[in-house]
Amino acid sequence: MKSVTDPFSPISIRGMVLPNRFMRSATHDGSADESGAVTEKSLSIYRTLGEGDIGLVVSGFAFVSEMGQALPGQYGAHSDGMIPGLKRMAAAVHTGGGRIALQIVHAGAASPHLMSRGVPGPAPSRIEGRSTAHREMTSDEIEAAVRDFGAAAARAREAGFDAVQLHAAHGYLMSQFLSPLTNRRTDGWGGSPEKRCRFHVEVTRQVRLQAGRDFPLLIKLGIMDDDPGGTTLAEGLAAAQRMVQAGADAVEVSAGVGGDFFKRTVGRECIPEAEKPLFLDRTAALKGGIPVPTALVGGIRSLETVRAVLAAGQADMVAMSRAFIREPGLVRRWAAGDVRPARCLVCNQCYRLLSTPEPLPSYCWQEHRSRA
């Protein structure tokens, strides 16, 4: 029997049994059509991922309402019209033997898509001096957004996904509610760490109500902010505990508001020679504080690092994104005995593609160049 600290040992999340401890972290690929529907390009990407022996594939983020869309080419889970395409995405992964979770999000004020249309993004508070056009949400709008998350999760279940993941990181709406930098409300949705976490708790409960008690619910949580005066690690740990109490089944740890997140996570400097995953300390801090699995993400490239993290009890799973862009079959290669590090060079050409109209390819720019 394999040890629970073996990367290739199974793990169970609310009855969803995964064959190993590897996750494909949610990755926007820009392949949806103008409505947010899955395309043939999308299916090609997910079909390849499904064949890679990754324990759990998490989809690119899908917006829960039209006012929650962040980027063009983003998947939608905001209407029943998206279900047929989402069914095809889930089936594409299942055909290869994989498991897939749909990540759902509301961008709030962090929406280049709305900005390009001249529409202010809905936000917990109106903050003077912020660079993005935004407006304060009414209580009715907040409650509607909570219901939108639940409805999107129910669509994920109907479409055949194995789980759903809430995107509560990277400065999107859930992060905006948690952070005192962006939530200055004094009503029931702000004013204290507990009230700033209320949106998270209510969304978790609503997902449970609409998608069912037996449907696995994961969270990508910006566990702390990296700007002065933002959410502290202690407050983020408490938020994670409240969400688990409300029904969450696993937590992938990431960043919240501020700190120039994308510069830190896509720049070469985020993977030093002596590899240390970006959010290792934060994930390790959470690991002993909640009774559900934790997942580490951020700059993981070697099986040696994965084994060391699991053996030290710093996480239960590891999540990667760019490594799987270049090598969707990385886990299969490692399991077969070829334990060389991921071929990803952290050149970030994949990231640059996200600012163009072209969708992210199922193989990376370096891989394409090597085949040319």
Helices (H), 212-259: 233-246
Is 53 within a domain?
A: yes
Count helices and strands in the chain by DSSP H and E runs: 15, 14
Query: Is residue 139 in a domain?
Result: yes
Is residue 1 a part of any domain in this protein? no
Q: Give me the amino acid identity at 308.
A: A
Task: Indicate whether 192 belongs to any domain.
Answer: yes
Q: Judge contact between 327 and 370, C-beta under 8 A.
A: no
DSSP string computed for 263-300 = HHHHSGGGS-SS---TTHHHHHHHHTT-SS-EEEESS-
pLDDT at residue number 363: 58
Digit-coded pLDDT (tens) for 48-88:
999 999 999 999 999 999 999 999 999 999 999 999 999 99
Q: How far is CA 230 from CA 84, 255, 261, 322, in A?
A: 40, 11, 14, 28
> 362 falls in which pLDDT band (50, 70, 90)?
low
User: What is the residue range of 336's domain?
Assistant: 11-371
CATH of the domain at 72: 3.20.20.70
Residue 21 domain-assigned? yes
Domains of the chain: total: 1
Q: Is the pTM of this model over 0.85?
A: yes
Q: Which two tokens stand for residue 252?
A: 């992938």
Query: pLDDT of 221-263, one tens digit each?
Result: 999 999 999 999 999 999 999 999 999 999 999 999 987 655 5
Radius of gyration in angstroms for the set of CA atoms belonging to the chain, rounded to a whole number: 19
**2 in a structural domain:** no
